[in-house]
């Protein structure tokens, strides 16, 4: 508890530095370049969990920042996951993204399946087993209007001028495509996308299939750690990276 003010300052500084990026209409600086390999293998092969096809593709270690606690009484937001390793591959008009990060706690469950009949027609209803668990998750965010020299939207889920698309994966609830135009405007589109995920030896490896994005598109990454009660803005995030 004693270290809380320091942590808040550290987190706030990292947040502030990213806020410079967060201003709408700024261009990400050089050094945040993110190259995407052109792969000769199939998208399906790359999407497959544990695929060896990622082997030759260069890894970029991207630093993660931590948002400070939302309320005074929230748990401290300690930096347990400092980087996410990102690989990108362009194949067949798609952009395959592999995210790998170390997380000693595997926060995922298989929720009971709801029968395909109305609850009122059934004697037994699917119960809520727990109300206090949160799950590991990851996301890739990019502007809806992408392209060369595209201005980076606000890092806080875009802004009204620059809506963003968020490809979100949750270890328990799966993949969902979201859209947002500013903080607290995130909405589910009801659409999903292909994803595969494995957890082995204290490490998540998640492969996501995105539509191909032109060079110059700003892309940002986020990771949630369930054991740290991460959800919403309580998460790990990267600053904007520019796709080459």
Partner 1 sequence: MSKHQYAMVMDLNKCLGCQTCTIACKKLWTDRDGTGYMYWNNVETRPGLGYPRQWDRIGGGWKDGSLQPSPLPTMDDYGHAWEYNYEQRLYEGKKQPVMPSPEPKSGVNWDEDVGGMNEDENYFFYLPRICNHCTHPACLEACPRKAIYKRDEDGIVVIDQERCQGYRYCIKACPYKKIYFNEVMGKSEKCIFCYPRLEKGQVNACAAQCPGRLRFVGLLDDPESPVHKLVLVHKIALPLFPEKGTQPNVFYVPPFNPPKRENYGKSIQEDPRVPLDYLIYLFGPEVKDVIVRLESELRKTQEGGRSEALQLLIGRDAETRYRVRPQLVQIQL
Binding site for partner 1 (CB under 8 A): 70-74, 111-112, 114, 119-120, 124-133, 173, 183-184, 186-187, 231-233
- Closest separation in Å from C-beta 110 to partner 1: 12
- In the complex with partner 1, the residue whose CB is nearer, 145 or 173, is 173
Q: Indicate the SS3 state at residue 24.
A: coil
- In the complex with partner 1, the residue whose CB is nearer, 2 or 124, is 124
- In the complex with partner 1, the residue whose CB is nearer, 25 or 119, is 119
Extract long-range pairs of 129-134: CB within 8 Å, 24+ residues apart: 133/107, 133/109, 133/226, 134/107, 134/224, 134/226, 134/227, 134/229, 134/230, 134/231
- In the complex with partner 1, the residue whose CB is nearer, 174 or 211, is 174
What Å distances lie between residue 84 and 12, 35, 103, CA to CA?
Answer: 20, 15, 10
Of 239, 135, 144, the closest CA to residue 185 belongs to 144
Determine the distance from the C-alpha atom of residue 164 to the mean position of all C-alpha atoms in its chain, rounded to a whole number: 13
- Closest separation in Å from C-beta 125 to partner 1: 5
Alpha-carbon gap, residue 145 to 24, rounded angstroms = 13
- Closest separation in Å from C-beta 100 to partner 1: 26
- Closest separation in Å from C-beta 135 to partner 1: 10
Q: Indicate the SS3 state at residue 212.
A: coil
- In the complex with partner 1, the residue whose CB is nearer, 128 or 149, is 128
- Closest separation in Å from C-beta 213 to partner 1: 26
């Amino acid at each position: 508890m004693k270290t809380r003010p320091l942590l808040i300052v550290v987190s706030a500084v990292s947040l502030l530095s990213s806020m410079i990026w967060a201003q709408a209409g700024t261009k990400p600086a050089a050094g945040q370049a993110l190259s995407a390999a052109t792969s000769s293998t199939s998208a399906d092969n790359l999407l497959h969990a544990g695929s060896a096809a990622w082997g030759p593709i260069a890894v970029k270690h991207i630093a993660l920042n931590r948002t400070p606690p939302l309320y005074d009484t929230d748990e401290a937001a300690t930096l347990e996951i400092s980087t996410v390793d990102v690989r990108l591959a362009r194949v067949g008009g798609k952009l395959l993204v592999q995210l790998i990060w170390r997380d000693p706690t595997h926060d995922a469950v298989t929720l009971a399946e709801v029968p395909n009949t109305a609850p009122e027609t059934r004697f037994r209803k699917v119960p809520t087993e727990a109300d206090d668990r949160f799950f590991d998750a990851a996301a890739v965010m990019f502007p809806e209007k992408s392209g060369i020299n595209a201005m980076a939207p606000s890092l806080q889920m875009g802004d009204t001028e620059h809506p963003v698309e968020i490809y979100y994966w949750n270890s328990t609830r799966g993949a969902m495509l979201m859209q947002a135009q500013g903080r607290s405007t995130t909405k589910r589109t009801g659409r999903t996308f292909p994803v595969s995920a494995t957890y082995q030896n204290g490490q998540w490896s998640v492969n996501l299939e995105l539509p191909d994005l032109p060079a110059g598109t700003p892309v940002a990454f986020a990771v949630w750690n369930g054991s740290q009660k991460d959800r919403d803005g309580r998460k790990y995030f990267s600053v904007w990276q520019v796709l080459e």
